């Protein structure tokens, strides 16, 4: 089982001591996290690591997920798209009703008793109506900088009822939100199977298993099959890179999350587009690409792409940088916080520029190495789980006061 002391060799004794001291103040407190899916996507990734770590600190941390049918997740994906800026989205009265009814049903099967309840993203947001006690935090992981107000308006009324709302970046905070707010950058766990060091033979074995040539340059994008992640854009960039570096290969990895009904459609689109291209590999969790394989591929990338049009934070960027891989990415959301242009990778405005920078890094491995190493330092200082748990502990203390 994970222990906070295990992180000392990475982040230092001081940081670990600080965490223990904070945890001591709220030992035994019950924290309940609720989100939409147990796997797939960044929220599940974070919770799967932060809950065991909190438990190891004697916090009674629990994680529950919503139950919903396809119609529910279709509605909530529309909400997600609307919050990220799709102005076309509208929901019918029946869709709103189904959303509220599903959450009401969940309120009867979830355990909502706790000192602090952390509700993640719009899917479980109306649970606040069934509050029986405790302090409630709404953690928003998506980019709400230019939301569709038809959808955001009614949801904001629910957000106002929480004790605190937490956003990944300052620019996501709605101007007229009256409740208390907090900024919390998402973090990755360096000890997780996805991020821990692995052997060279494991990397080579993974590449061989999927037919990727270990002796040629590999560029890659990891991310759900979703219009915002622009998987087709990554393929377009690869085509342009190949005009400059013929040996380049692209590995596109995406997963099918329970709460994402758009994945199948975008997977098909990516497959159809990739079929016309040479040296493009489209892989998913259904091909057996789990945490270890993602880790191996990310370590084999010469350059990681993140062509997202919108990005709440982009843990995939954090993961690549932690592995010393430079990232060529758009300026969307949290990417620009992680990719420091010219220092940990390159920020680009279009496909052509992405191809140019990627080719540059393929041609100059020494430059890629320098940027990758700066990227790892940047993540170590700012985006590791020890910072994440510290923020949760501080928030908890702020909400309930010191108990011990």
Residues in the site for ligand UDP, rule: CB under 6 A? Answer: 41-42, 45, 194, 222-224, 253-255, 285, 294, 312-316, 319
Closest distance to ligand UDP from the beta carbon of 257 (Å): 7
Of 245 and 384, which has the nearer Cβ to ligand UDP? 384
Look at residues 177, 161, 140, 135 and name the one whose alpha carbon lies nearest to residue 395.
135
Name 142's Cβ contacts closer than 8 Å, sequence gap at least 6.
80, 83, 84, 121, 122, 172, 310, 312
- Distance (Å, rounded) from C-alpha 284 to C-alpha 343? 31
Closest distance to ligand UDP from the beta carbon of 200 (Å): 21
Of 115 and 121, which has the nearer Cβ to ligand UDP? 121
Of 41 and 134, which has the nearer Cβ to ligand UDP? 41
Closest distance to ligand UDP from the beta carbon of 49 (Å): 10
* Angle, alpha carbons 13-396-311 (nearest 5°): 85
Which runs of consecutive H residues, i.e. helices, occur in 243-349? 263-275, 291-300, 315-322, 335-338
Of 89 and 292, which has the nearer Cβ to ligand UDP? 292
Closest distance to ligand UDP from the beta carbon of 244 (Å): 27
Of 273 and 313, which has the nearer Cβ to ligand UDP? 313
- Distance (Å, rounded) from C-alpha 293 to C-alpha 41? 16
Closest distance to ligand UDP from the beta carbon of 87 (Å): 20
Of 135 and 229, which has the nearer Cβ to ligand UDP? 229
- Distance (Å, rounded) from C-alpha 195 to C-alpha 362? 23
Closest distance to ligand UDP from the beta carbon of 74 (Å): 17
135 forms bridges with which residues in the sheet?
Answer: 116
- Distance (Å, rounded) from C-alpha 214 to C-alpha 288? 19
Residue 283, burial from CB neighbour count under 10 angstroms (0-12, 13-18, 19+):
buried
Question: Which residue of the chain is nearest ligand UDP when measured via CB?
Answer: 42
């Amino acid at each position: 089982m994970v222990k906070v002391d295990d992180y000392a060799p990475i982040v230092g004794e001081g940081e670990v001591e600080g965490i223990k001291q904070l945890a001591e103040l709220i030992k035994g407190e019950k924290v309940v996290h609720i989100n939409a899916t147990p796997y797939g996507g960044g929220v599940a990734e974070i919770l799967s690591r932060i809950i065991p770590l909190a438990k190891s600190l004697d916090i009674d941390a629990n994680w529950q997920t919503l139950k919903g049918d396809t119609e529910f997740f279709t509605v909530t994906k529309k909400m997600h798209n609307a919050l990220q800026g799709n102005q076309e989205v509208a929901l019918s009265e029946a869709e709103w009703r189904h959303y509220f009814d599903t959450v009401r049903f969940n309120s009867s099967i979830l355990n909502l008793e706790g000192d602090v309840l952390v509700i993640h993203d719009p899917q479980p947001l109306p649970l606040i109506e069934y509050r029986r006690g405790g302090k409630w935090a709404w953690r928003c992981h998506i980019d709400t900088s230019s939301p569709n107000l038809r959808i955001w308006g009614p949801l904001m009324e629910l957000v106002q009822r929480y004790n605190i709302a937490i956003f990944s970046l300052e620019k996501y905070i709605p101007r007229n939100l009256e409740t208390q707010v907090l900024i919390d950058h998402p973090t990755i766990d360096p000890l997780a199977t996805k991020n821990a060091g692995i052997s060279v033979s494991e990397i080579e074995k993974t590449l061989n298993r999927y037919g990727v040539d270990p002796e040629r340059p590999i560029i890659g994008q990891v991310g759900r099959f979703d219009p915002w992640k622009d998987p087709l854009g990554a393929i377009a960039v690869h085509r342009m890179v190949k005009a400059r570096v013929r040996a380049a290969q692209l590995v596109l990895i995406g997963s099918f999350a329970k709460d994402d009904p758009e994945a199948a459609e975008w997977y098909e689109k990516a497959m159809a587009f990739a079929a016309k291209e040479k040296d493009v590999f489209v892989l998913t969790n259904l091909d057996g690409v789990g945490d270890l394989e993602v880790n191996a591929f990310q370590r084999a990338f010469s350059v990681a792409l993140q062509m997202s049009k919108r990005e709440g934070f982009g843990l995939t960027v954090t993961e690549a940088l932690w592995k010393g891989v430079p990232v060529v990415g758009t300026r969307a959301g949290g990417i620009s916080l992680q990719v420091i242009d010219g220092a940990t990778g390159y920020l680009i405005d279009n496909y052509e520029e992405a191809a140019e920078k990627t080719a540059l890094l393929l041609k100059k491995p020494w430059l890629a190495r320098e940027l990758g190493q700066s990227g790892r330092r940047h993540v170590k200082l700012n985006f590791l789980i020890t910072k994440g748990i510290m923020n949760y502990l501080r928030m908890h203390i702020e909400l309930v006061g010191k108990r011990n």
